[in-house]
């Protein structure tokens, strides 16, 4: 299983490359998406993941819509709907921006406030190469902006305010 790389890994600071035409619909792309889904599935607090976060320099991110609900269902091993965004680009964003709390699976333990557009619309491609647009507000718009930042080699801590570092949580074990 692919591990999520942490701040300091060079791939996180590079602009990711577009997925080439010949890769759409292939077993190679299918494996990349599976690796991303598996890596995100094991991070209960993660809502989205960009390919560079598992050391793959492609312009791909995924979102777990089930984890974006105000009261997400308990993790049961079942993966809810996963949004796949290949070669994404912003189509539009609201003028209004909000200061939001943010963290990152590749910058574990650090949290801060970022200024994000309240709403955003992304145009991207699917596994088979067809184009679609998806808009959203709130956490989904924030995820779009956070993940496209990853694809451009930007981490949230580069522009976050009031960054705090929290100690790692100790996992409880039950006998």
Does residue 101 lie within any of the structural domains? no
User: How much is the pLDDT for 71?
Assistant: 59
Domain that residue 43 falls in: 10-89+121-154
For residue 156, give the nearest of 110, 121, 120 by alpha carbon.
110
The torsion angles phi and psi of 167, rounded to 5 degrees, stand at -65, 150
- Give tens-digit pLDDT for 77-110: 555 789 999 999 999 999 999 999 999 999 999 9
Does residue 164 lie within any of the structural domains? no
Does residue 114 lie within any of the structural domains? no
Give the CA count within 13 Å in the CB-facing half-sphere of 102: 29
**CA–CA–CA angle 46, 125, 87 (5° rounding):** 70
Average pLDDT score over the chain: 92
User: How much is the pLDDT for 147?
Assistant: 98
User: How much is the pLDDT for 73?
Assistant: 55
Does residue 98 lie within any of the structural domains? no
Is 147 one of the annotated active-site residues of the chain? Answer: yes
Q: Are the CB atoms for 61 and 88 separated by under 8 Å?
A: yes
The residue annotated as part of the active site, out of 22, 75, 81, 147, is 147
Does residue 63 lie within any of the structural domains? yes
Q: Determine which helix (DSSP H) or strand (DSSP E) holds 9, and give its type and residue range.
A: none
Reading the block at residue 89, the tokens are 């680009």
Q: What is the CATH number of the domain that holds 71?
A: 3.90.45.10
- Give tens-digit pLDDT for 18-62: 999 999 999 999 999 999 999 999 999 999 999 999 999 999 999
Does residue 2 lie within any of the structural domains? no
* Counted domains in the chain: 1
Does residue 104 lie within any of the structural domains? no
* Mean pLDDT in residue range 123-133: 98
């Amino acid at each position: 299983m692919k591990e999520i790389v942490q701040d300091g890994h060079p791939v996180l600071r590079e602009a990711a490359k577009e997925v080439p035409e010949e890769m759409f619909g292939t077993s190679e792309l299918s494996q990349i998406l599976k690796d991303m889904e598996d890596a995100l599935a094991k991070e209960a607090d993660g809502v989205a993941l960009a390919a560079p976060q598992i050391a793959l320099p492609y312009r791909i991110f995924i979102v777990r819509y089930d984890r974006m609900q105000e009261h997400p269902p308990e993790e049961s091993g079942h993966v809810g709907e996963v949004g796949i965004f290949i070669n994404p680009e912003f189509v539009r964003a609201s003028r209004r921006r909000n200061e939001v709390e943010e963290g990152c699976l590749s910058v574990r333990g650090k949290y801060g406030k970022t200024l994000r557009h309240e709403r955003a619309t992304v145009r991207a491609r699917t596994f088979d190469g067809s184009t679609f647009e998806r808009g959203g507000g709130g956490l989904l718009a924030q995820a779009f902006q956070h993940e496209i930042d990853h694809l451009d080699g930007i981490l949230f801590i580069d522009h976050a305010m009031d960054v705090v570092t929290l100690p790692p949580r100790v996992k409880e074990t039950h006998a």
